[in-house]
Chains A and B, each alone.
Chain A
Amino acid sequence: AQSVSQHNHHVILSEAASLELGCNYSYGGTVNLFWYVQYPGQHLQLLLKYFSGDPLVKGIKGFEAEFIKSKFSFNLRKPSVQWSDTAEYFCAVNFKAAGNKLTFGGGTRVLVKP
């Protein structure tokens, strides 16, 4: 079965530090890739997505992600985090062979200390 894994369950870092969250997915042919963020008490919001083209995708709030097909990875990065980036981050993959469904990773809770 298709699966998505996020390597870190919790990340704690200070403001201005760089952030990288890992996301790997099982082989499943053609994929669409997403990162969603869930701020405390709020609903899931789309950070960025990759469907095709340039594998380096820029999203909102200074986030970017790189699709490396050979590694089945779609890691999320931000060069300098802010306290307001404290949230839970979810990687999600649409395996086209599975139709419209999204498969979510387990999520990574990020705490940015002021």
Chain B
Amino acid sequence: GAVVSQHPSWVICKSGTSVKIECRSLDFQATTMFWYRQFPKQSLMLMATSNEGSKATYEQGVEKDKFLINHASLTLSTLTVTSAHPEDSSFYICSASSRPQQTQYFGPGTRLLVL
């Protein structure tokens, strides 16, 4: 149980385009989903927290207009990187939990390369 999937697993796009990443909880309902960014050889940095049906809460320094998060259902959250630039290239990871302050289960990540 507690499986989280992400799609796509990797994406290459041109600078200026937008990219949407999906995060799904496959066998449980996720009241809360989290989006992280992981730079090479570094730890995970939380970007935002999203609760189903409400606006996401962004961490300090994360541009909410650039990283659009939608958590429309209890099993799906999306992260859209708008007008992507090369510095947005990174590994984006989502996680999901079924109850507040409970275990987060992580997706496999999406590697984004912006040319």
Interface residues, chain A, with chain B CB atoms under 8 Å away: 32, 34, 36, 42-46, 49, 90, 94, 96, 99-107
Contact = CB atoms under 8 A, between A and B. Distances in A.
Nearest to A46: B103
Interface residues of B, number: 20
A43 B44 contact: no
Contacts, number: 47
Interface of B: 32, 34, 42-46, 49, 93, 95, 97, 100-101, 103-109
A105 B45 CA distance: 10
Contacts of A46: 103, 105
B106 A43 contact: yes
B101 A99 contact: yes
B49 to A, nearest CB: 6
The 4 closest A-B pairs by CB, nearest first: A44-B106, A43-B108, A104-B43, A106-B43
